[in-house]
Amino acid sequence: MVFPSGGPLGQRLNDFLCHHPVARELLADAQWIEGDVHWRKNLPYFSSTYAGDGFVLVGDAGAFLDPFYSPGMDWVSFTSTAAAELILMERRGERIDALIEDHNRRFVGSYARWFEGVYKDKYEYMGDYELMRLGFLLDLGLYYLGVASQPFKRGPKAFREPIFSTARSIPVFRLMRIYARRLAAMGRSRRQRGCFGRYNARHRFMFGGYTFAPASARHIVKALLGWGALELGEGWRTWFGTAGARTAELKGKCGDHKPNAPFPLTPALSVGERETHSPILEVQQRRGV
């Protein structure tokens, strides 16, 4: 399904949404207001300077990355903690030039890494059940382990360390960047081969959730194993760039699984999670949609 081109934006959005039977029902009598529907191709923005002589940026004023995981309040915490420290030091008459330089370096690096590790090319595989499920489990698990748990374990001082600004967090950033790139590459390859979303129908991922308990990390390990299995099963098609993808395209293969076969990849992921059939899809089937 592609976003329609040509015509008023409101009409295109309506047509796009109405591909889905539930949206069709919800929007049956809806009217859009001309000029009130907007399109943004690139949502994220970030600054090159977060503090200077007499100013410091906090929250969305400094950067906004993506609404997908709703990280706005995390950034409000990191930026306002750092801003408060700078302001207090300045008001005590301390020299803060070096600190401002450090502040800018840390936040520029932090936002850039968080964007690259989590959001860059996310939409290449968002919409594919298998790929997004793995990406979601890894993103969320590493976030819980490395970000959300920290203020609970270490108190407010955790807010002094923006995401991926410390040396020990860089390997995690690299891991996230690698699997994000690989899932995006597999998403692109699946689109080329007409296999994107091949297991979407009748699958819905309901995850029990992470906790801060160390045992919760097992879901991350299982997801990493699932990713490894996926690499061996089909990732090899894109290991060597576009040439590999093209060869695979010529072969026209989606894989050895039948299109409606049960999700074959990660039996290990089933612990603590529920994959359920979607009632919406069942309703559609009963209606013969």
Smallest separation, CB 226 to ligand FAD (Å) = 27
Closest residue by Cα to residue 197 from 249, 126, 146: 126
Binding of residue 44 to ligand FAD (CB under 6 A): no
Distances (CA, A) of 264 to 55, 138, 218, 238, 261: 54, 19, 20, 20, 7
The CB-side HSE value for 211 (13 A sphere, CA atoms) comes to 6
DSSP 126-172: TT-HHHHHHHHHHHHHHHIIIIIHHHHHHGGGGGGS-TT-SGGGHHH
Binding of residue 72 to ligand FAD (CB under 6 A): yes
Among 18, 76, 172, 217, binds ligand FAD (CB under 6 A): 76
Return the range that interacts with ligand FAD (CB under 6 A); candidates 34-42, 53-61, 124-132, 230-238: 53-61
Binding of residue 61 to ligand FAD (CB under 6 A): yes
Binding of residue 59 to ligand FAD (CB under 6 A): yes
How would you write 93-119 as a 3-class SS string?
CCCCHHHHHHHHHHHHHHHHHHHHHHH
Looking at the Cβ atoms of 77 and 200, the one nearer to ligand FAD is: 77
Return the range that interacts with ligand FAD (CB under 6 A); candidates 64-72, 85-93, 140-148, 273-281: 64-72
Binding of residue 151 to ligand FAD (CB under 6 A): no
Return the range that interacts with ligand FAD (CB under 6 A); candidates 8-16, 37-45, 59-67, 144-152: 59-67
Smallest separation, CB 42 to ligand FAD (Å) = 16
Smallest separation, CB 261 to ligand FAD (Å) = 36
Binding of residue 4 to ligand FAD (CB under 6 A): no
- Restricting to residues 8-37, which ones interact with ligand FAD according to CB under 6 A? none
204 has which bridge partners? 276
Do 46 and 65 meet the contact criterion of CB atoms below 8 Å apart? yes
- Binding characters for ligand FAD, 171-210, by CB under 6 A (x = yes): ----------------------------------------
Binding of residue 73 to ligand FAD (CB under 6 A): yes
Residues near ligand FAD, by CB under 6 A: 59-61, 67, 70-73, 76
